[in-house]
């Protein structure tokens, strides 16, 4: 059986029509199963991985994403990459009373993910459909 991979545009189109219908979804797995169903209308061999869908969803201009996370005390390095979408992480800093600056954590430049130095591990995604500008 040929394995066919949808392009980014097809994933966004499927995502858009699912979210227009659903308005809000609080689970990546649920979102994925609906998007896969939608993709299969175009091509029965189409599918999308959790990771790829997550990356598209958090960056989609018509979605507002809220990430629920738990603390992980192990200070494992994030290596400058976002655990949600692989985007670039920016350091967030705060001025100290001594005039210096101290690193508070990291913020993704592509999606809503942020973390303090005690790393936040994403556990749940809430997607909300918003009107496109």
Which of 17, 62, 69, 110 contacts Zn ion by CB under 5 A?
A: 110
C-alpha span between 78 and 13 (Å, rounded): 31
Give the CA angle between residues 68, 71, 76 to the nearest 5°. 120
Site for Zn ion in 2-21 (CB under 5 A): none
The DSSP string of 68-128 is: EEEE--S----TTB-TTT-PBEEEEEEE-TTS-EEEEEEEESSSS-EEESSPEEEEEEEEE
Asked whether the beta carbons of 55 and 27 are under 8 A apart, the reply is: no
Nearer of residues 15 and 108 to Zn ion, judged by Cβ = 108
- Judged by CB under 5 A, the number of residues near Zn ion is 8
Rule CB under 5 A: say whether 39 interacts with Zn ion: no
Site for Zn ion in 54-83 (CB under 5 A): 82
Question: Binding segment for Zn ion among 15-23, 26-34, 104-112, 120-128 (CB under 5 A)?
Answer: 104-112
Which of 12, 32, 87, 119 contacts Zn ion by CB under 5 A?
A: 87
Lookup: tokens for 66: 């809220």
Question: Binding segment for Zn ion among 7-15, 32-40, 100-108, 119-127 (CB under 5 A)?
Answer: 100-108
Q: How would you classify the pairing of strands 89-95 and 24-25?
A: unpaired
Provide the binding-site residues for Zn ion, judged by CB under 5 A: 82, 84-85, 87, 108, 110-111, 113
């Amino acid at each position: 059986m040929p394995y066919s991979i949808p392009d980014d545009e097809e994933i966004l189109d499927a995502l858009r029509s699912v979210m227009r219908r659903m308005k809000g979804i609080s689970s990546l797995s649920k979102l994925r199963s609906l998007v896969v169903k939608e993709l299969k209308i175009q091509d029965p061999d189409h599918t999308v991985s959790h990771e790829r869908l997550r990356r598209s969803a958090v960056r989609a201009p018509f979605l507002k994403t809220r990430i629920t996370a738990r603390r992980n005390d192990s200070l494992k390095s994030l290596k400058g990459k976002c655990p949600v979408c692989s985007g670039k992480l920016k350091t967030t800093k705060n001025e100290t009373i001594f005039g210096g600056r101290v690193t508070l954590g990291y913020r993704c430049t592509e999606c809503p993910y942020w973390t303090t130095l005690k790393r936040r591990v994403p556990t749940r995604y809430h997607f909300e459909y918003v009107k496109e500008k």
